[in-house]
Structure 1
């Protein structure tokens, strides 16, 4: 298996080969009953080629052309390739949700961070890519939500420049507690991501552990006297900094005796996962200095209770 020979780095070190397994691929044209059973069993569905590759690369090109004035790209390279300028300090180009931040949750990064935030509101992203009919129609059929399928406006469009900090260990319901626990996340890699390129990794059977952790949190919240509103917040005295389960994925999998499932991704792939699926990312060690780009899109059944804080475009310090 490729992951047996590719070093995979996380925030607290190098994953050992026995700590790593392979994410199972699925295909959109398989019987829906089989895909639904797999999603419920595994907590995720790694769909190959759900979106047209050219549509994904068009959005990737628009993103990096938009960020090019920040100086993040290597001179003479094409924006669609997203090649980081290795002469720059990667710490000056932090990814949203992964690096150090100020009291308002804002990473330190000047024009680069300003443009990365503004990109969330650009029409090519907000109105076109996030509402891609191939994604919405598949989710509508897969879930049976049909016309009630609602894509939430708030999304996280994350870049990860080489050698910067990885995303910590978490599950999404932590940030969606103002609604039911039946939402669905579509993680969409916006471009090819090599195995060591900083893609998402999923804890094996992590959705069952996520449910246990959330149930235990609810017990602690009552025992420590949190109000209902405090208990719904991802940022309270019973949660770690940044509302993550852990910063280090290596120690977390050792503690819980479960492997991290990994893969390389291609433009057009999509991972659907439950709100309790525990995931993180590796550190981007792509030797070509390719910037990892991906987005988290959330979908809900609009006829049920859902977290309406997610009806606004992402902003630093929005409390979610």
Structure 2
């Protein structure tokens, strides 16, 4: 299947700072994992991402989704009479009691608000069906090892971010991943895996057009300035992080960021089995989940590295709240 770039979506898309204007929105290029690898590599280098349709078996993704929501069901998040695999939010509940693991509000101690819901969402990271099976899916590992040329040196980092996003709650702000992986080389690759179908307005990831070049420029300009002022490598990392917003963001609002840099946000509807690979400098965010059927958006960020090269070893442990990474 040749790559496809659809026309701009017509469905209204909301982000943390409002409604994106039609001219601020475009569509991700679709690629098939069965295309020649050299073609896919060129596309990845040019776009900063590779949106692969149906890379993973759909049934494997839905099996993991079902396990996740079966685990979270005792929190009361799911609508009565629905199946866990559907992941339908109980609209009669207060959305603020069910915040996203990363983007939600916090209590007085800095812990995410959400009680049992958040505790179970954190627990999911350690469940064998997720940590030992889904995150190490042989199809994904095999494709990345061939695509990158890393072969037997391909390593999936243990730390991952399994994010849910209940309808109408806050979305993910603007960032690129090297911000969080700065204790290693900038050679990692992220695989964002939607764990279930995500409608166009269902809170999926959005990618800034040409965002990988802008992200690299932002990183380079800061390091050049730090070098001129005589900061050590460690001081530079700490100084960069202090210049980020809370949580390591470039900005909370994608709309204003798009306006400031004159670039579109690219998106699509995602299906279980799809995977998006992106570079450590690819700038991305997400929309607010406005799914009309109250479907909870679920997806995970999996990081891969060449183990023969220096990488951020802080990512060698399962994600825990407040782990400082």
Query: Distance between the aligned counterparts of 1:67 and 1:273, measured in 2?
Result: 29
Equivalent position of 1:210 in the other structure: 215
Q: Report the secondary structure of 2:131's partner residue.
A: helix
Equivalent position of 1:311 in the other structure: 316
Equivalent position of 2:3 in the other structure: none
Give yes or no for contact 1:235–1:243 (8 Å, CA) kept in 2: no
Matched, 1:43 2:21: no
Structure 2 regions of 5+ residues with no counterpart? 1-5
Alpha carbons of 1:105 and 1:262: their partners in 2 closer, same or farther (altered >3 Å)?
farther
Matched, 1:259 2:264: yes
* Cα drift, residue 12 of structure 1: 0.2
Matched, 1:31 2:62: no
Query: Distance between the aligned counterparts of 1:35 and 1:234, measured in 2?
Result: 36
Equivalent position of 1:183 in the other structure: 188
Equivalent position of 2:73 in the other structure: 68
Structure 1 regions of 5+ residues with no counterpart? none
Matched, 1:16 2:46: no
Query: Distance between the aligned counterparts of 2:211 and 2:320, measured in 1?
Result: 29
* Cα drift, residue 98 of structure 1: 1.2
Alpha carbons of 1:50 and 1:242: their partners in 2 closer, same or farther (altered >3 Å)?
same
Equivalent position of 1:174 in the other structure: 179
Alpha carbons of 1:214 and 1:56: their partners in 2 closer, same or farther (altered >3 Å)?
same
Give yes or no for contact 2:222–2:240 (8 Å, CA) kept in 1: no
Equivalent position of 1:274 in the other structure: 279
Q: Report the secondary structure of 1:101's partner residue.
A: coil
Q: CA offsets per residue over residues 30-74 of structure 1, 9 Å max, x none? A: 000000000000000000000000000000000000000000000
TM-score, length-normalised on structure 1?
0.97
Equivalent position of 1:85 in the other structure: 90
* Cα drift, residue 102 of structure 1: 5.2
Alpha carbons of 1:67 and 1:183: their partners in 2 closer, same or farther (altered >3 Å)?
same
* Cα drift, residue 80 of structure 1: 0.0
Give yes or no for contact 2:69–2:87 (8 Å, CA) kept in 1: yes
TM-score, length-normalised on structure 2?
0.95
- Listed as ranges, the matches of 1:276-291 within 5 Å are 276-291=281-296
Query: Distance between the aligned counterparts of 1:229 and 1:105, measured in 2?
Result: 26
Query: Distance between the aligned counterparts of 2:196 and 2:9, measured in 1?
Result: 24
RMSD over aligned Cα atoms: 1.6
* Cα drift, residue 99 of structure 1: 1.9
Query: Distance between the aligned counterparts of 1:41 and 1:314, measured in 2?
Result: 32
Equivalent position of 1:244 in the other structure: 249
Equivalent position of 2:301 in the other structure: 296
Alpha carbons of 1:9 and 1:250: their partners in 2 closer, same or farther (altered >3 Å)?
same
Query: Distance between the aligned counterparts of 1:13 and 1:97, measured in 2?
Result: 20
Q: Report the secondary structure of 1:116's partner residue.
A: helix
Matched, 1:119 2:158: no
The match for 1:59 among 40, 64, 72 is: 64
* Cα drift, residue 103 of structure 1: 7.9
Give yes or no for contact 2:9–2:27 (8 Å, CA) kept in 1: no
